[in-house]
């Protein structure tokens, strides 16, 4: 049911320009985390447009209690594995904790990820990243800026909590989003923010937006692969749906995710947050 449509979507490689076109055409796109060649290959067959090699590997692969212990060498290893299994999806790679604390350090580590096979790097943070984003952009490295709930700052935030709840916090995320785009950010990713705020942000910025726990109005959606396959080690987050049901294979679960994102039936209201 899903495979024929998905296969057509990835008949050619997905590029940053194609993602921008999809935003302009109001066509939703999908993103899942992957950490190896095999699952990447299956995601390609299912029509997943973008793949995030996430530092979430610290938790779902390494068994850590946060993403903080993940190193740049860990990330490069898994990016290279994903690259070998990839044909047409666009690959994003997380820059791990403290690998971009200074612009020059960020440039060196981003170069390692790009050489390993990434097509874009993702950094967590707000306006303080503008100088770093500008440097990477000037050197030809595409950047995804991650705002809202930023897991690498979980101890500073006091846990995995909804961000942007009051007007002042929402205004700050808007201001920082516009500043990061002006600095050269090519995609903005929002995690655990109110649905109405995510809608306003997506309408305000000229670049594609990706949401997780941000409601249905962002241009793209991302989930951790293990979560959407029901392989949660702990409590399932509110914004997660298990797609490995009804006798589906793993590829069919990925295809169902693609179909539901594109038809805008996922995320449903129960997967989002009110302010």
Structure confidence by residue, pLDDT tens digits, 93-149:
999 999 999 999 999 999 999 999 999 999 999 999 999 999 999 999 999 999 999
The binding site for 3-methyl-2-oxobutanoate consists of 55-56, 94, 122
Across residues 168-196, what is the average pLDDT?
97
| Selected residue with higher pLDDT from 9 and 68 | 68
CA distance 213 to 253: 19
Query: Class assignment of domain 16-271?
Result: alpha beta
The binding site consists of 55-56, 94, 122, 124
Q: Kindly state the tokens that stand for 72.
A: 């740049």
CB-based burial label for 154 (10 Å; 0-12, 13-18, 19+): middle
The binding site for Mg(2+) consists of 55, 94, 124
The SS3 assignment for 115 reads: helix
Q: Which residue has the tokens 């809202």?
A: 148
Q: Do the Cβ atoms of 187 and 120 come closer than 8 Å? A: yes
Q: Kindly state the tokens that stand for 249.
A: 């294979």
Tell me if residue 191 is catalytic. yes
Instruction: Please pick, among 49, 191, 255, 260, the residue that the annotation labels catalytic.
Output: 191
Whether the per-residue pLDDT at 82 is higher than 80: the answer is: yes
What are the φ and ψ backbone dihedral angles of 193, each rounded to 5 degrees?
Answer: -125, 160
pLDDT of residue 275: 64
CA distance 90 to 15: 6
Q: Do the Cβ atoms of 79 and 70 come closer than 8 Å? A: no
pLDDT of residue 233: 67
Q: Which three-class secondary structure string do you get for 219-234?
A: CEEEECHHHHCCCCCC
Whether the per-residue pLDDT at 160 is higher than 80: the answer is: no
Q: Which residue has the tokens 């937006």?
A: 209
Domain boundaries, the chain: 16-271
């Amino acid at each position: 049911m899903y495979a024929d449509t998905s296969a057509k979507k990835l008949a050619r490689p997905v590029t940053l320009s194609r993602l921008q076109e999809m935003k302009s055409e109001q066509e939703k796109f999908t993103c899942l985390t992957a950490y190896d060649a095999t699952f990447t290959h299956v995601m390609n067959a299912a029509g997943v447009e973008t793949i995030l090699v996430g530092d979430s590997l610290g938790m779902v692969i390494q068994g850590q209690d946060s993403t903080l212990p993940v190193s740049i060498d860990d990330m490069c290893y898994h990016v290279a594995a994903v690259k070998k299994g990839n044909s047409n999806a666009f690959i994003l790679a997380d820059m791990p904790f403290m690998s971009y604390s200074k612009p020059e350090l960020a440039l060196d580590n981003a170069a390692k990820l790009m050489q390993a096979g990434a097509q874009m790097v993702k950094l967590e943070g707000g306006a303080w990243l503008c100088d770093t984003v500008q440097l990477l952009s000037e050197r030809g490295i595409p950047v995804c800026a991650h705002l809202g709930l930023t897991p690498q700052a979980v101890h500073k935030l006091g846990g995995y909590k909804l961000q942007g709840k009051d007007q002042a916090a929402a205004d700050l995320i808007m201001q920082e989003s516009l500043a990061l785009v002006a600095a050269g950010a090519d995609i903005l990713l929002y995690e655990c923010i109110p649905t109405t705020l995510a809608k306003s942000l997506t309408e305000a910025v000229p670049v594609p937006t990706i949401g997780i726990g941000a409601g249905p109005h962002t241009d793209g959606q991302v989930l951790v692969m293990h979560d959407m396959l029901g392989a949660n080690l702990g409590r399932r987050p509110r914004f997660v749906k298990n797609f490995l049901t009804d006798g589906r294979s793993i590829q069919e679960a990925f295809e169902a995710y693609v179909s539901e994102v594109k038809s805008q039936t996922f995320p449903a209201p129960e997967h989002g947050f009110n302010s």
